Amino acid sequence: MPARGNALTRRIRSSGGKLLRRFGLLPGGMPDGIGDDAALADATLDGDVVVYFPDTQDSLYQLRTWYGPLRELHRAQGVTIVCMDSRTAGSLRAEMDLPVVTIALDATLDSIILRSDTKLVLYVNYNPLNTAALRSRSAIHVSLLHGDSDKVVSVSNQIKAYDYSFVAGQAAIDRLERYTTLFDAPARCIPVGRPSLDTDRVEATSRADDRPTVLYAPTWEGGQSSAAYSSLNSHGPAAVRSLLAAGLGVIYRPHPLTGVRVPEYGETDRELRELVESAGGRVSTDRPLQHDFADADLILCDVSAVMGDWLPTAKPLLITRSADPQARDAATALLGMSPRLAAPDASRAGSLARELIDHDLLREERVELIEYYLGNTAPGASLARFLEACERLSARRDELWARIREQEHPAADDSA
């Protein structure tokens, strides 16, 4: 018998739960399950590809990193985004022009994927709710994730649930081979670079601030102790004050989930916003990451995906060392060669940043790592690899599914 879930889930599924969903009183991380199921009873989905995103609006940043590539994939093969939360679906419809539907019932999802002859289902995270779509055996399931990093989530055992994973480059494959047992990374991983770096590419522009500028981009507090990489509380205030005291411009880019799990991080975030704005810096919350990259001379960041995305700029970086003794890295070459900033040294961030900007002794070594992490970074190359991989897997799905259907429904014996 399938698990019935916890008491809260059972209450939400009751008639009282329906009222909670209808009036928006659900806990923040729980999808409301207000679906278009009735209207979809006999419908089919547009295109060959489904992006399954059962999350709430808090996690939309994960899907936003794929907006550009998904628009191009929609032009090539047709894409429908399937949500489990009507509020998330509403935000998606306002932000992009791809078809979006909300499906609450597993039975609706399974039948519409089969009826639509969906070839690929793409996922941008490891949400346990992804299993609703993963049940479908008529499509190929591909993990995209929303960044490539040395976080332990990048080598999660959950990767085994997906038929294939699109990864940034050889570094990701090597990381998985090193840290993930019983997983054939070379066979199951397809390097596509970072297609969003192509679609979100910006040219350097003249700056309003002519001071050398540091981008401080901490990650959030993480969902578990082994992934507690955020420097916001341990390093943030001292580091930002040190950067400003050294005469450096500061761009502060808070993570969208800051303070969601630990309220104290939200309090520190508000403190840093006030500090940076009062000093004439920028708090960046509503513009593409590539704009912040273009305006900065150095990045101060945690162990996160921005490390690899920053690499093609060829500019120096300073990576924090987590103050949480339980945090674990899935270390690769970039993390091993880069300068690290421990919490007790946060008050020296300004002088360290000045030294790295003025004397970038590791530039050539970082440039040599670009292809290892991202493959060919020529404009358009990553996007082309992404689209080609989707087309190739779609063709493979058709071959495999035709074989399965033939085994299930063999042709009548003409000799009878």
More confident residue, 25 or 95: 95
The mean pLDDT of 207-214, rounded to a whole number, is 84
Name the pLDDT band for 205 (thresholds 50, 70, 90): low
What are the domain boundaries of the chain? 1-26, 31-199, 213-374
DSSP secondary-structure letter at 166? E
**What is the C-alpha to C-alpha distance for residues 30 and 10, in angstroms, rounded to an integer?**
13
Quick: pLDDT tens for 167-197: 999 999 999 999 999 999 999 999 999 999 9
Per-residue pLDDT, 2: 38
> d(Cα 199, Cα 152) in Å, to the nearest integer?
27
Beta bridge partner(s), residue 120: 49, 140
34-48, 197-211, 243-257, range with the lowest pLDDT? 197-211
In angstroms, the Cα distances linking 293 to 16, 30, 150, 284, 307 are 48, 33, 20, 11, 11
Answer whether CATH 3.40.50.2000 is correct for domain 213-374. yes
Q: Taking 80 as the threshold, does the pLDDT of residue 202 lie above it?
A: no
DSSP string, 252-280: E---TTTTSS-HHHHHHHHHHHHHHHHTT
pLDDT in tens, 72-107: 999 999 999 999 999 999 999 999 999 999 999 999
Amino acid at residue number 378: A
The confidence band for 351, taking pLDDT boundaries of 50, 70 and 90, is very high
Q: What pTM did the predictor assign? A: 0.89
Determine the pLDDT at residue 331.
84
Structure tokens at 331: 């270390």
Matching fold, domains 31-199 and 213-374: yes
Q: Cβ distance 212 to 354 under 8 Å? A: yes
Q: Average model confidence (pLDDT) for the chain? A: 90
Task: Please state the φ and ψ torsions of residue 250, each to the nearest 5 degrees.
Answer: -130, 130
User: What's the CATH number of domain 31-199, 3.40.50.720, 3.40.50.11540, 2.60.40.10, 3.40.50.11720?
Assistant: 3.40.50.11720
Q: What is the pLDDT of residue 82?
A: 98
User: Over 80: is that where the pLDDT of 207 sits?
Assistant: no
Residue 415: other Cβ atoms inside 10 A: 4
